[in-house]
Amino acid sequence: MTTPWSARRESNLRERRRGERRRAAGAGPRNALAFTDRVLLTLVHLRTGLTHQALAELYRGGRSTVTGAISEIRPLLAARGFAVPDRPGARLCTLGERSPTPGPRR
């Protein structure tokens, strides 16, 4: 079963290659960060506004790894309504900000 994330990633890779893969699936470089780490990294960036270089220091990786992870995950979050890639200043809100205001207590 293919997840939407892996289907989108494979589609992007196919466009970059301008055709089908030339090697077997799984060949090539490994991701430096697990999927959950990439999501967490992106959420931290959106919520705090930390630079890619600062996040790279926190994750003991390279700035390009952080940039790639954020550019990969932001469209997925945007598709779910959590972030807007076209508006870099848009920040995530807390659960309290998203939920409707409670009515008067009785």
pLDDT on residue 53: 92
pLDDT for 80 beyond 50 = yes
Mean pLDDT of 42-66: 88
Q: How far apart are CA 101 and CA 103, in angstroms?
A: 6
What's the domain range around 74? 32-82
Confirm whether 55 is domain-assigned: yes
Q: For residue 46, is it within any domain?
A: yes
In a domain, 95, yes or no: no
- 49 occurs within a structural domain: yes
d(CA 61, CA 53): 9
Residue 42 falls within a domain, yes or no? yes
Task: Give the number of domains in the chain.
Answer: 1
Q: Is residue 72 part of a domain?
A: yes
Q: Residue 85 above 70 pLDDT? A: no
The reported pLDDT for the residue numbered 106 is 45
Residue 26 DSSP class: T
**Is residue 95 scored above 80 in pLDDT?**
no
User: What does the pLDDT read at residue 94?
Assistant: 59
Using DSSP's 3-state secondary structure scheme, residue 60 falls into: coil
Domain membership flag for residue 9: no
What's the pLDDT score for residue 90?
56
